[in-house]
């Protein structure tokens, strides 16, 4: 690590040791500062290195003890794409001269160079676009980041770089996805190609993902991951956000479209399906908020748990898009997410970062035994997906509203709290043309 980078990260280390003593719920100003410093700490080593073409040289890989011997080069695409999918909303804010604004501008400058290097065959940090089926997964997070930061990060790229991305995405047709949430990865890649103006995107790869996910909705805000249900957080990591964003891109480019699907007796299938998917995500967001304990913990269940705060992606996305349901207030969601963040990154024995600034495999601390056979330390940057509310300016009500107790904190401290109930989200019969 360079001395410059070390100097940039020292304030973060000091912040990580600081405990809240006055108000255990925090406040919007200090909460935002904490989020920004942690996001910068996470992003700076990745983006600085990749902007300089040194990420693959300097990032020491940590692999699962049960690693399945896939091409190790996939780790760098995982690291970059997953990180950017979480922080592009923040980097899309206008420049200002605040300390936060200076950090944000520096990260954006690095990110633009990194995006170019990712598809430049002459760059040492050219990503592994032909490294097997795993490429389908993480190319989807790369383009999801470009969709989330379309104006600030896609549009400024030069035409050669844009053409290279569209070419690489088309090249992914060499891989077929398994019959799981992976169908959404290919839909995301094709939807982004369509959204960015490609004429030769594969509409079938869109249709297949959209229609199968709709078939897999099982009720009360939950989707199955394929034909059988698994109690894990893949609704958070993939299904809810990517399904909604794919529908959003289709709706934006084909607002009167009926070729995807249509509801019985209507001709606005894409619009209707988007509205239904949003309601389902809102219900799922209510469930996630209730999962957060008074102490800022959540149930540790299912595979891919080293993705840490990515569990909270739908809640973070709803907050960033100002689509929180009426049951959830800005102050309670901010307070709950901040409590989880501090518990995760200030917990006892916390060693979530290596000495050179990269994430370690684990949950709170380094615990390689929590890894699945596909996990590497690049995989872990999925945790940045919880940082999307930083895309709201500092004067937004999400940051300025008074902090409130979240639902479980109210319940377990003897306060009144709203009862839970099944949402009546009708799943109407879909007809395909």
DSSP string, 230-299: --SSHIIIIIHHHHHHHHHHHHHH-TT--SS-EETT-S-HHHHHHHHHHHHHHHHHHHHHHHS-TTS---
Q: Is residue 433 included in any domain, yes or no?
A: no
Q: How many CB atoms lie within 10 A of CB 206?
A: 23
Per-residue model confidence as pLDDT tens digits over 363-408: 999 999 999 999 999 999 999 999 999 999 999 999 999 999 999 9
Our CA dihedral for 141, 146, 152, 153, rounded to 10 degrees, sits at 90
CB of 141 closer than 8 Å to CB of 81: yes
* CA terminus-to-terminus distance, the chain: 56
Q: How confident is the model at residue 257 (pLDDT cuts 50, 70, 90)?
A: low
Residue 80: its pLDDT value, please? Answer: 98
Residue 27: its pLDDT value, please? Answer: 72
Q: Which helix (H) or strand (E) holds 158?
A: none
Residue range(s) defining the domain that contains residue 308: 44-409
This prediction's pTM? 0.91
Residue 17: its pLDDT value, please? Answer: 41
Q: Which helix (H) or strand (E) holds 223?
A: strand 222-223
pLDDT at 296 over 80: yes
Say how many domains are in the chain: 1
**DSSP structural state of residue 366:** -
Q: Is residue 420 included in any domain, yes or no?
A: no
Per-residue model confidence as pLDDT tens digits over 8-58: 444 444 444 443 333 456 676 799 999 999 999 999 999 999 999 999 999
Q: Is residue 19 included in any domain, yes or no?
A: no
Ranges 191-200, 275-284, 416-425: which has the least confidence: 416-425
What is the C-alpha separation between 378 and 198, in angstroms, rounded? 29
pLDDT at 129 over 50: yes
Residue 269: its pLDDT value, please? Answer: 81
Residue 255: its pLDDT value, please? Answer: 83
Q: Is residue 21 included in any domain, yes or no?
A: no
What is the C-alpha separation between 259 and 168, in angstroms, rounded? 26
Residue 347: its pLDDT value, please? Answer: 72
Per-residue model confidence as pLDDT tens digits over 70-109: 999 999 999 999 999 999 999 999 999 999 999 999 999 9
Q: Is residue 24 included in any domain, yes or no?
A: no
Q: Is residue 335 included in any domain, yes or no?
A: yes
Residue 389: its pLDDT value, please? Answer: 98
CB of 263 closer than 8 Å to CB of 427: no
CB of 118 closer than 8 Å to CB of 128: no
Q: Is residue 98 included in any domain, yes or no?
A: yes
Here the tokens at position 157 are 């790229």
Q: Residue 222 — φ and ψ, nearest 5°?
A: -115, 140
Give the chain's mean pLDDT. 90
Residue 430: its pLDDT value, please? Answer: 40
pLDDT at 144 over 60: yes
Q: What CATH number does the domain containing 77 carry?
A: 1.50.10
Longest dimension (CA), the chain: 65
Q: Is residue 34 included in any domain, yes or no?
A: no
Ranges 1-10, 21-30, 322-331: which has the least confidence: 1-10
**Helix (H) and strand (E) counts for the chain?**
16, 4
């Amino acid at each position: 690590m360079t001395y410059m980078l070390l100097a940039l990260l020292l304030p973060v280390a000091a912040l990580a040791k600081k405990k809240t003593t006055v108000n255990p719920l925090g406040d919007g100003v200090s909460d935002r500062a904490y989020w920004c410093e942690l996001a910068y700490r996470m992003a700076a080593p990745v983006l600085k290195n990749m902007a300089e073409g040194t990420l693959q040289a300097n990032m020491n890989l940590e692999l699962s003890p049960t690693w399945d011997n896939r091409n190790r080069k996939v780790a760098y695409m995982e690291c970059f794409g997953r990180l950017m999918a979480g922080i592009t909303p923040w980097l899309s804010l206008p420049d200002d001269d605040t300390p936060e604004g200076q950090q944000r501008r520096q990260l954006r400058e690095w990110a633009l160079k990194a995006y170019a290097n990712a598809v430049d065959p002459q760059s040492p940090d050219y990503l592994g676009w032909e490294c097997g089926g795993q490429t389908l997964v993480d190319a989807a997070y790369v383009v999801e980041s470009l969709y989330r930061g379309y104006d600030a990060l896609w549009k400024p790229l030069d035409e050669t770089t844009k053409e290279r991305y569209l070419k690489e995405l088309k090249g992914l047709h060499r891989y077929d996805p398994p019959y799981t949430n992976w169908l959404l990865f290919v839909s995301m890649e094709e939807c982004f190609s369509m959204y960015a103006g490609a004429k030769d995107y594969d509409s079938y790869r869109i249709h297949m993902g959209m229609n199968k996910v709709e078939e897999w909705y099982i009720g009360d805000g939950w989707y199955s991951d394929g034909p059988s249900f698994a109690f894990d957080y893949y609704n958070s990591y993939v299904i809810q956000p990517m399904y909604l964003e794919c529908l959003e891109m289709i709706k934006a480019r084909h607002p009167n479209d009926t070729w995807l699907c249509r509801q019985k007796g209507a001709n606005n299938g894409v619009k209707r399906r988007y509205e239904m998917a949003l309601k389902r995500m809102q219900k799922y967001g209510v469930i996630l908020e209730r999962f957060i304990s008074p102490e800022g913990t959540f149930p540790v269940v299912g595979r891919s748990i080293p993705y840490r705060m990515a569990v909270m992606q739908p809640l973070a996305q709803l907050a960033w898009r100002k689509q929180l349901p009426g049951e959830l207030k800005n102050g309670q969601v901010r307070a709950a997410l901040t409590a989880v963040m501090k518990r995760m990154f200030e917990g006892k024995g916390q060693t979530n970062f290596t000495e050179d600034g990269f994430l370690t495999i684990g949950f709170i601390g380094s615990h390689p035994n929590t890894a699945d056979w596909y996990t590497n330390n690049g995989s872990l940057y999925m945790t940045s997906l919880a940082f999307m509310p930083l895309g709201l300016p500092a004067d937004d009500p999400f940051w300025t509203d008074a902090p409130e107790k979240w639902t479980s904190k109210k319940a377990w401290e003897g306060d009144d709290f709203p009862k839970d109930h099944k949402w009546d989200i009708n799943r109407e019969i879909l007809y395909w043309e």
